[in-house]
Amino acid sequence: MTREAPLETILKRMIAAEGPIRLDRYMSLCLSHPVHGYYNSGDPFGATGDFTTAPEISQVFGELIGVWCVHVWQTMASPIPLRLIELGPGRGTLMADLLRVASRLTGLDRNTIAVDLVETSPTLRQIQATRLDGHHVAWHENLHNVPLGPAIVVANEFFDALPVRQYVFRNGRWAECFVGLNERAQLAFGFAPAPPPPPAALPHERPPEGTIVECSEAQMAMAEAIGRRLAAEGGAALIIDYGHEGGYGDTLQALRQHRFVSPLDQPGRSDLTAHVNFAILRQALQRAGACTYGPISQAGYLKAMGLTERAERLKSSADAKQRSTIDSAIRRLAGHETPMDMGTLFKVLAACHPTLPIPHPFQ
C-alpha cells in the first residue's frame, strides 16, 4: 500500500475542521500548496515526468512563436526594449527557442530584449534560470508586477492549470462541486445547492438535466489583466491551450506518469487541468479593451507560420533516426490521428491593442 500523500493528510484535517472545500480551492492547493503542491515539488515535464508539452516535443514550436513575436513587434513600430512576457514558462524551453529566433531576426541582444517570467513555482524558476542563462530575465509572482510598457505576452498550457469551479444542473437548479469526506473518511466529490454559474459559462437555452458547466474565475481574472495591460500599454498576446469554444461537461483531469488517474488520488502528485473555455477568455480580453482573433487550431497556426518548411530545413542536416524523430514530433504537434495529437484539440487565440493590424495568420 502506498503511504498517504502528505497533502492528503492536510486536506482531510482541513475538511474535518472547516467542512467541504470548493473544487477550485482543492485544485489550487493540489497544484500550488507551498510545500506539497504539484508544481513546487519537482520537474513534471518530459518522458520521465507526468506530461509533455509542445515546446518539449520540438524546438520548432518555440521558434515559430518567435517568428510571430518578431512580426507583431514590427507592427508595433519596434519598441525598445522588446519586452517578452511569458506566463507559466515551465522549463523555459519555449522562451529559449523563441529568444534564439528573435535575436537572430532582430539583431537585438540581452540589453535590448527584456524577458519577464510570471511563475509561482520556486523549483521551476530555478530550472528556467539555468535554461535562460545569458539573457536578461526577471521573475514575477503576477502579471501586475511586470514593468509597464508595450510587450508581447505568451502563454502555452498556462490557463489549463488555473483552478476551475464546477456546477451541475439537477432538478431544475444548480449545485456546485465540493471536495469533502465520505463515510470512510476518504476524500470524495459532492454537490451542494449554489447560485447559478456566471452567465458567460452558461448554455444559451435552459440546460438539460445533468448538464455540467465549468468556470474559472482565475482564468477570467488573468485574461482581463492581459486585456487591460494590452489596451493601456500596447502590445499583443498569444494564448495556446487545449480546450473548446463554449462546450460543457466534466473536463477535470489528473495525469501522473502519462496516465490518467482520479483527481482525488494522491493530491499534489498528479497534474490537474481542465479544458479551457476560449469563448470566456475572448470575452474577458475584449471587456478589458483588447481586440481578439481566433481561436484557430494549433495545426492551422503552426502550418501557416511555416511548420513544414522549418521541419524540412532541420531534416536536411539530420541523419535517418533524427529525421524520423522530427517527423513524429510534427505529427504530434499538428496532427489529429491519435488522441495524443495536439493539432485540433489545442487552439491558439491572439489579442492585440486595438490599433494594431490583424496579426498573421489570423486574417
Q: How far is the CB of 55 from ligand SAH (least distance, A)?
A: 5
Q: What is the crossing angle of helices 23-32 and 6-18, to 10°?
A: 150
Q: Which residue is nearest to ligand SAH (CB)?
A: 88
CA angle 315, 318, 321 (to 5 degrees): 100
User: Measured on CA atoms in the order 125, 126, 131, 134, is the torsion positive or negative?
Assistant: positive
Q: Is residue 273 involved in binding ligand SAH (CB under 6 A)?
A: no
Q: Which of 39, 73, 242, 301 binds ligand SAH (CB under 6 A)?
A: 39
Tell me the C-alpha distance between 363 and 361, whole Å: 6
CB of 144 to ligand SAH, least distance (A): 12
Q: Which helix (H) or strand (E) holds 213?
A: strand 212-215
Shortest separation between residue 50's beta carbon and ligand SAH, angstroms: 10
* Contact positions with ligand SAH (CB under 6 A) in 149-208: 156-158, 161
Q: Of 89, 150, 235, 343, which lies in the binding site for ligand SAH, with binding defined by CB under 6 A?
A: 89
Q: Which of 41, 75, 120, 253 binds ligand SAH (CB under 6 A)?
A: 120
The yes or no reply on residue 124 touching ligand SAH (CB under 6 A) is yes
Please tell me whether residue 121 binds ligand SAH under the rule CB under 6 A.
Answer: yes
**Cell 511563475 maps to which residue?**
119
63 touches ligand SAH (CB under 6 A): no
Select from 20, 55, 62, 243 the one that contacts ligand SAH (CB under 6 A): 55
Among 118, 225, 281, 284, the residue binding ligand SAH under the rule CB under 6 A is: 118
Long-range contacts of 34-37 (CB under 8 A, 24+ apart): 35/6, 36/5, 36/6, 36/7, 36/10, 36/268, 37/7, 37/121, 37/268
Q: Are strands 137-140 and 151-156 parallel, antiparallel or unpaired?
A: unpaired
- Contact assessment for residue 243 and residue 277, using Cβ atoms and an 8 Å cutoff: yes
Q: 132: which DSSP letter?
A: T
Considering only the stretches 15-23, 89-97, 340-348, 352-360, report the one whose residues sit in contact with ligand SAH under the rule CB under 6 A: 89-97
User: Of the two residues 92 and 235, which places its CB atom closer to ligand SAH in the complex?
Assistant: 92
Cβ burial, residue 117 (10 Å; 0-12/13-18/19+): buried
Per CB under 6 A, does 236 bind ligand SAH? Answer: no
**Residues in the site for ligand SAH, rule: CB under 6 A?**
39, 53, 55-56, 88-90, 94, 118-121, 124, 156-158, 161
